[in-house]
């Protein structure tokens, strides 16, 4: 009597090149899916626009930036923080999307294909990066309409947007790990937002960190989120350049790059390991 063996999933062929191709295929699949659910993209655009309008016109005249409460100054100070908040809040969507794929069994179908295991997660995060870039473009147009301006030229401004997209990409890997660690998309959405609020608000995004108590300012100045906000203000030429002695505030561009790359390396490794264990 012969033993019954379980069929094994085909082994992926090739090496890094195959992994890149597989990731792009998965990314294309997720982008097509986004176009078929346009309300997700629309709601993703509405939220940051609301933040711009509310913070600019409701709080603009009460914030002291550089010794002035001029609303126009605060609007320019604010925008780097709003941009950074927008790209990081995409984390919740990334986590929910991956949790939804796990919940519906789509990942099991991917397992039956000769494809790179990491491509499923990489493709998803790349698709989220494209959606984030579209959101940033629309948000920048709205910011220009409310009075925000670039003062250091287009090349530096493009560099600032590049740092923002890198930060957003890094944070989507945190979302991926959360999505793989929970049972439902709803839990992934909640889990993706709970930690984001202290990260974004205990920072220099909406207020000058010099106005915080010393221990809280120290946390804000070493926050990876704050480093990107500070770097963008420098590259945009916007007010609010900090006089903090903390290294990330004095070398904000380098700090932003280092933090983002470190987050990608750590959380991509953890996410791929979690994915392999979940699908083993």
pLDDT surpassing 80 at residue 242: no
pLDDT surpassing 70 at residue 259: yes
From 177, 208, 131, 169, select the one nearest 271 (Cα to Cα).
Answer: 177
Give me the residues paired with residue 81 across strands: none
pLDDT surpassing 70 at residue 140: yes
Amino acid 4: pLDDT: 46
Binning pLDDT at 50, 70 and 90, where does residue 89 land?
Answer: confident
Phi, psi of 152 (to 5 degrees): -115, 15
DSSP helix, strand, coil percent of the chain (3-state; round to 5): 75, 0, 25
Distance CA 246, CA 244 (A): 5
* Structure-token pair, residue 244: 């903090």
Q: What are the residue boundaries of the structural domains of the chain, listed by start? A: 18-278
The label of the residue with tokens 């791929």 reads 272
pTM: 0.85
Binning pLDDT at 50, 70 and 90, where does residue 61 land?
Answer: low
């Amino acid at each position: 009597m012969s033993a019954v063996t379980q069929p094994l999933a085909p082994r992926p062929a090739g090496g890094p090149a195959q992994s890149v191709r597989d990731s792009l295929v998965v990314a294309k699949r997720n982008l097509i899916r986004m176009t078929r659910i346009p309300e997700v993209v629309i709601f993703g655009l509405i939220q940051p626009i609301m933040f711009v309008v509310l913070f600019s016109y409701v709080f603009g005249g009460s914030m002291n930036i550089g010794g002035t409460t001029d609303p126009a100054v605060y609007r320019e100070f604010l925008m780097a923080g709003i941009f950074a908040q927008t790209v990081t809040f995409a984390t919740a969507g990334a986590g929910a999307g991956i949790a939804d794929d796990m919940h519906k069994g789509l990942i099991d179908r991917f397992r039956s294909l000769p494809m790179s295991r990491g491509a499923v997660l990489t493709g998803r995060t790349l698709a989220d990066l494209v959606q984030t870039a579209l959101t940033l473009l629309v948000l920048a147009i709205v910011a220009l309409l409310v009075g925000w301006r670039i003062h250091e030229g287009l090349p530096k401004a493009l560099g600032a947007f590049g740092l923002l997209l890198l930060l957003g990409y890094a944070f989507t890997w945190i979302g991926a790990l959360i999505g793989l660690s929970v049972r439902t998309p709803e839990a992934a959405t909640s889990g993706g937002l709970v930690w984001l609020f202290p990260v974004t608000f205990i920072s220099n995004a909406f207020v000058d960190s010099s106005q915080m108590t010393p221990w809280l300012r120290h946390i804000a100045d070493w926050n990876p989120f704050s480093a990107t906000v500070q770097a963008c203000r420098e590259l945009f030429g916007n007010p609010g350049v900090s006089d903090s002695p903390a290294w990330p505030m004095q070398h904000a561009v380098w700090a932003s790059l280092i933090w983002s790359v470190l987050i990608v390396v750590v959380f991509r490794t953890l996410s791929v390991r979690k994915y392999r264990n979940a699908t083993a």
